[in-house]
Amino acid sequence: MKIELPKESTMQSSKFTYGVATAAFQIEGGTDKRLPCIWDTFCSTEGKIADKSDGQIACDHFNLWQEDIELIASLGVDAYRLSISWPRVVNKDGSLNNEGVQFYINILDLLNQKNIKAFVTLYHWDLPQHIEDNGGWLNRETAYLFADYADKISQAFGNRVHSFATLNEPFCSAYLGYEVGIHAPGLIGKEFGKKAAHHLLLGHGLALQALQKNVPEAMNGIVLNFTPCYPQSSKEEDINAAHLADQHFNQWYIKPIMDGCYPELINELPNEHQPDIFPGDLEIISAKNDFLGINYYTRAVYRADDKTQFHQELPENTPLTDMGWEIYPQAFTELLVSLNSLYSLPPVYITENGAAMPDQLVNNAIMDLDRVDYFQEHLNAVNNAIVQGVNIQGYFAWSLMDNFEWAEGYEKRFGIVYVDYESQKRTLKHSGLLYSDFIKQRLITP
Ligand code: GCO
């Protein structure tokens, strides 16, 4: 068994970037060396995390980072996508915390020494708790605090970083965090989601200005996630339901960035659900990005519903990952092709794609053939989108290693490397071996 793509695929070229991805809160631990963040608070709230766990130790990457970078280098990847813990690098007064900054500079220097491009995400959901205490993303001021952090940290990192992304998945921060409450800070209310989303997007625009000023030679942009929406039947009302869900969950986050306006749906939102948009905000939000990061895992199927307008049907009789997410690679191609036709996209990087699977450690090995299939099918899906004209330049597997999967705790394993949380021993899974072989062979075949 191996992972392969057609010989003529541009994804076989050494110019195509392959990487692995992680996020600070999910792997670092070392919580006593930084300010508290909203995920610390959320984890300590009864009933929020499936296995009652937290991020205090996680993969202990805070101590094991050198070993982890050796592991990344051994895979032969071109790039590593990591996120910066905002509460590790700032003090409460907004000044930089030198010790925290140095932690990342050491990582970036080692990556550069090993010729691994650093793709840095500035916000992967770990808002400093003291900022949440002032209203978090419901407070417009947070967008300016984020830009200030982006300004300072990009100056401190300088040319060590190949690519900066402002936000990771503002949909998750806004909707999961402030509307349905399954992520930190756990607020629930239809009136919150789109207000938080607007401040996040404003924060993106303001931070991008700082990045373009301080590190214009870096590739600067944003990472968005998409769960394409499909109708359950060909009935018109189901098609409309899927379309509406798509406007709320997907287009809401990309359209302001690409087109400088929200979907028309905004005109139908009740007053109390409306974001607070100031003159000039949308110009700031729609400034040109050097790249767009796209995260894809699964699709969603909707039917019409009298009360809620659209209702998500759970998948039946289809292959699922351990998250219960349908495995449907065709939606990945269709998503990429459709975004490319709706918008004038900058170069696209697939910044996350992968699967949680019920891994079994047997004789010190994990034969995760299901995950290998997932990668193979989704790499094919990306290739199909390229063939149909989408400009895609890179692909990052989520994730380098098993880690803290948010509300699911440590029960769901997304890694291509297995982590034994007792001993912190890392074991390369079969998917990791084959992903690495695939990346390496591409460089030797003519
Ligand atoms: C994301 C992620 C990752 C998750 C992954 C699986 O950016 O979507 O936040 O942090 O672990 O998506 O759910």
Q: 370-407 burial, b if ≥16 CB within 10 A, otherwise e? A: bbbbbbbebbbbbbbbbeeebebbbbbbbbbbbbbbbb
pLDDT for 444 equals: 67
User: Is 26 annotated for ligand binding?
Assistant: yes
Q: Which residue of the set 28, 132, 169, 334 is catalytic?
A: 169
> Contact 205/285 with Cβ under 8 angstroms?
yes
Say whether pTM exceeds 0.85. yes
Q: What is d(CA 327, CA 331) in angstroms, rounded to the nearest whole number? A: 9
Q: What is d(CA 140, CA 276) in angstroms, rounded to the nearest whole number? A: 9
> Contact 396/349 with Cβ under 8 angstroms?
yes
pLDDT for 446 equals: 53
Q: Which atom of ligand 1 is nearest to the CA of 414?
A: 6
- 127 occurs within a structural domain: yes
Read off the pLDDT of residues 145-154 as tens digits, 9 standing for 90 and up: 999 999 999 9
- 3 occurs within a structural domain: no
- 17 occurs within a structural domain: yes
- 381 occurs within a structural domain: yes
Q: What are residue 216's phi and psi, to 5 degrees?
A: -65, -20
Residue with tokens 């094991």: 64
Q: What is d(CA 140, CA 121) in angstroms, rounded to the nearest whole number? A: 21
∠179-185-186 over CA atoms, to 5°?
A: 50
pLDDT along the chain (446 residues), means of 10: 95 97 99 98 98 98 99 98 99 98 99 98 99 99 99 98 99 98 98 98 99 98 98 98 98 99 98 98 99 99 96 94 98 99 98 98 97 98 98 99 98 98 98 98 70
- For 117, the enclosing helix (H) or strand (E) is strand 117-123
Q: What is d(CA 102, CA 405) in angstroms, rounded to the nearest whole number? A: 26
Work out how many domains the chain is built from and give that number.
1
- 84 occurs within a structural domain: yes
Q: What are residue 170's phi and psi, to 5 degrees?
A: -55, -25
- 68 occurs within a structural domain: yes
User: Is 405 annotated for ligand binding?
Assistant: yes
Give the C-alpha distances (Å, rounded to integers) separating 204 from 24, 80, 214: 19, 22, 15
326 lines ligand 1 (CB under 6 A): no
The residue contributing the CA closest to ligand 1 atom 6 is 405
Q: Which two tokens stand for residue 116?
A: 């691994």
- 4 occurs within a structural domain: no
214 lines ligand 1 (CB under 6 A): no
The strand pairing partners of 82, in sequence order, are 120
103 lines ligand 1 (CB under 6 A): no
377: annotated active-site residue: no
Helices (H), strands (E): how many in the chain?
16, 13
- Please report, as a single letter, which amino acid is at residue 129: Q
Local structure of residue 247 (DSSP, 8 states):
I
Half-sphere exposure (Cβ direction) of 217: Cα atoms closer than 13 Å: 6
Q: What is d(CA 352, CA 223) in angstroms, rounded to the nearest whole number? A: 9
Read off the pLDDT of residues 27-63 as tens digits, 9 standing for 90 and up: 999 999 999 999 999 999 999 999 999 999 999 999 9
Q: 293-317 burial, b if ≥16 CB within 10 A, otherwise e? A: bbbbbbbbbbbbeeeeebbbeebee
352: annotated active-site residue: yes
| Segments forming the whole domain that contains residue 111 | 10-440
- 246 occurs within a structural domain: yes
∠304-309-310 over CA atoms, to 5°?
A: 55
Q: Which two tokens stand for residue 118?
A: 């650093």
295 lines ligand 1 (CB under 6 A): yes
Q: What are residue 419's phi and psi, to 5 degrees?
A: -115, 125
**CATH code of 397's domain:** 3.20.20.80
β-pairing, 163-168 vs 425-428, is unpaired
* Rg of the chain in Å (alpha carbons): 21
> Contact 93/133 with Cβ under 8 angstroms?
no
Residue 95 CB neighbours (<10 A): 10
Read off the pLDDT of residues 401-436 as tens digits, 9 standing for 90 and up: 999 999 999 999 999 999 999 999 999 999 999 999
